[in-house]
Amino acid sequence: MADLTGRGQRRAARYSAVALLRHGIGGGAWPRAWRTHEPKRSYQVVIVGGGVHGLATAYYLARNHGITDVAVLDKGYLGGGGSGRNTAIIRSNYLTPEGVRFYDRSLGMYERLAAELNYNVMFSRRGHLTLAHSDASLRTMRWRAEVNKLSGVDSDIADPDEVKRLVPFLDTSAGARYPILGALYHPPGGIIRHDAVVWGYARAADSLGVHLHQDTEVTGIDVVGGRVSGVRTNRGPIATGTVINCTAGWSTLVSALAGVRMPVQTFPLQAAVTEPVKPFLHTVVVSGTLHVYVSQTDRGELVFGASVDPFASYSTRGSLEFIEGLAGHVLELMPSLAQLRLLRQWAGLCDMTPDFAPIMGSTGVDGFLVDVGWGTYGFKAGPVAGEAMAECVATGRTPEIIAAFGLDRFEEGRLVAEKGAAAVGH
């Protein structure tokens, strides 16, 4: 645990019920969750992207490795990209043993995160159901269940009766157009308050001395002799020997600033939320065949998502086809929800890679690292990615847990085997 005194650190005010009581009685103001600084002219590490990945990396650099001369730059507000737009589902029921290990570590970190950051991120363990509507799909669920079990992760196949017991609102009858044949049931899966994760990491990183700079856009990356020497921003230049690209949607552009090419295509991913109703759905439900997933927040809103848009784009405007298709599929699963009203739709940008796995670690440019290509599964990996990238920077070596995700795997033809689970990957 890093030394909390001196070097620009400060002890963040402790959050607790007792503190709430004290403030309520005394009426005093809470201190800022994180401070604002003028950007320095140089930092040891510059992280581009102030979402969960960038902030977690900064936090673990400071906490695990004592590296606090770190700046996190975001061209907008913290968590304004994928971290603020995702549907906040956490799970580890992946297809490959490496994938399972990776996401399961993340799940465990999320479970402990509120206590670690002293910020309630509201992780709610709900159980995660991936419905199978065909025998091919059920076979893939079985494959995942077996791999999960062998890796010590709680997953198994549930038959239609069990599915109905878990989610009474589901139409599990044989008369449905695509009858439910069974499901992959993963009890440890759940949902979380995504903004709280961003704010929690931001506050904790700040208390350890990390500088957070919002509204700071990186406009250039200086590379001299094959090695990073600094970044240029709309608030002036910053000298540094280490730059980490933790952006989503814009990762190709940022990497291009350093002269690094990416095997990425950016697609919008849309989502929508309904008005709140009294809680009735206590499990996260995913259907690969119907390309839809549903969960209900503690506030009572249903959150919906589906697959990425059919064509690559940087537009987050959203489409009518998306909410029409989504509503149709949700009602096929749960026909009694017809009167529920959709309140808001939005979109984020997803960087899709050829093998549905991220790109992490070093690149051909010394000092320029990437933590990108997170497709539709980036948020659930925030903690483990941050921890691994921090280790990568601090030790100069690629940690075992992310060894399969190197950028060089594409030119070497060593793609990651998660393609099988990627039907609707949430």
Partner 1 sequence: MTMRLDRQPGEVIDRRVEFTFDWNGRTYPAHPGDTIASALAACGERIFSRSFKYHRPRGLLTASHLDPGCIVQVGDEPNVRGGHRLVHAGMQVRSQDTWPTLELDVKAANDLLGRFLPAGFYYKTFIHPRALWPSYERVLQRFAHGGVVSAEPPHPADRYDKRHVHPDVLVAGGGPAGMATAVAAARAGARVLLVEEEPALGGHLRWGRERELSALAELRDLVATTPGIEVLTDSVVLGRYDDNWVAVLQRGLPHVRERLVKARARSLVVAPGLIERPYVFAGNDVPGVLLSTAARRLVNLYAVRPGKRAVVLTANAEGDTAALDLERAGVEVVHVEDARRGGDVVRVLGRRGVQAVEVAGGDRIDCDLLVTAVGWTAPASLLTMAGDVPVYDRRAARFRPDPARLPDDVLPTGGIVGDGSLEQLVAHAEATGQEAARRARGETAVEITALPVEPHPALFHGRTHGIVDFSEDVSSKDLLTAVEEGYDSVELAKRYSTATMGPTQGKLEVVNVVAILAEATGRTIEQTGTTTWRPPYVPVTLGALAGRTREPKRCSPMQTWHQRHGAAPLVAGAWIRPDHYGDPAGEVRAVREHVGIIDVTPIGKLDLRGPDVPELLNLLYVNRWSKLGTGRVRYGVMCAEDGVVLDDGVTGRLDDEHYLMSTTSSGAASVWEWVERWLQTEHPDWRVHVTPVTTAYASINVAGPRSRDLLRRVVEEVDLAPETFPYMHVRRGRVAGVPGCVLWRIGFTGELSFELHVPAAYGLHVWETLLDQGRDLAVQPFGIEAQRILRLEKGHLIVGQDTDGMTRAFGASLDGLVRLDKDDFVGRPELVWQDQGRGHPRLVGLRTVDGSVVPAEGSQLVEDGGRICGRVTSSRMSPTLGRSICLAQVAAHLAEPGTEVTVRLTTGGTAAAIVAQQLAHVDPEGGRLRV
Partner 2 sequence: MILLPCPWCGPRDAGEFGYVGEIGVRPDPEAATTEQWRDYLYFRQNVAGWTRERWYHRMGCRRYLAVQRHTLTNEVRSASQHAGQGDDS
Task: Report d(CA 34, CA 238) in Å as an integer.
Answer: 21
Of the candidate residues 141, 264, 272, 416, the single one contacting partner 2 (CB under 8 A): 264
Minimum Å gap between C-beta 350 and partner 1 is 18
Q: Under the criterion CB under 8 A, does residue 332 sit at the interface with partner 1?
A: yes
In the list partner 1, partner 2, none, the entry touching 277 (Cβ below 5 to 8 angstroms by class) is: partner 1
Task: Report d(CA 70, CA 43) in Å as an integer.
Answer: 6
Residue 28 has what DSSP assignment?
A: P
Of the candidate residues 187, 300, 399, 406, the single one contacting partner 1 (CB under 8 A): 300
- 106-143: burial string, b at 16+ Cβ within 10 Å, e else: bbebbbebbebbebebbbbebbbbbbbbeeebbebbbe
* Residues 384-403 close enough to bind partner 2 by CB under 8 A: none
Q: Which residue has the tokens 């000298």?
A: 239
Which region among 24-32, 75-83, 309-317, 383-391 touches partner 2 (by CB under 8 A)? 309-317
Sign of the alpha-carbon torsion through 109, 112, 115, 118: positive
Q: Is 162 helix (H, G, I), strand (E, B) or coil?
A: helix
Half-sphere exposure of 154 (CA within 13 A, CB side): 10
Nearer to partner 1, 4 or 15 (CB): 15
In the list partner 1, partner 2, none, the entry touching 279 (Cβ below 5 to 8 angstroms by class) is: partner 1
Site string for partner 1, 5-44 (x = CB under 8 A): ----------xxx-xxx-xxx-x-xxxxxxxx--------
In the list partner 1, partner 2, none, the entry touching 77 (Cβ below 5 to 8 angstroms by class) is: partner 1
Q: Which residue has the tokens 């989504």?
A: 326
Q: Under the criterion CB under 8 A, does residue 314 sit at the interface with partner 2?
A: yes
Task: Report d(CA 410, CA 90) in Å as an integer.
Answer: 28
Task: Report d(CA 154, CA 136) in Å as an integer.
Answer: 22
Q: Under the criterion CB under 8 A, does residue 411 sit at the interface with partner 1?
A: no
- Give the phi and the psi of residue 82 in degrees, each rounded to 5: -55, -35
By residue count, the chain amounts to: 426
In the list partner 1, partner 2, none, the entry touching 314 (Cβ below 5 to 8 angstroms by class) is: partner 2
Q: Under the criterion CB under 8 A, does residue 263 sit at the interface with partner 1?
A: no
Which positions touch partner 2 (CB under 8 A)? 250, 252-253, 261-266, 310-315, 317, 319-321, 354, 410-413
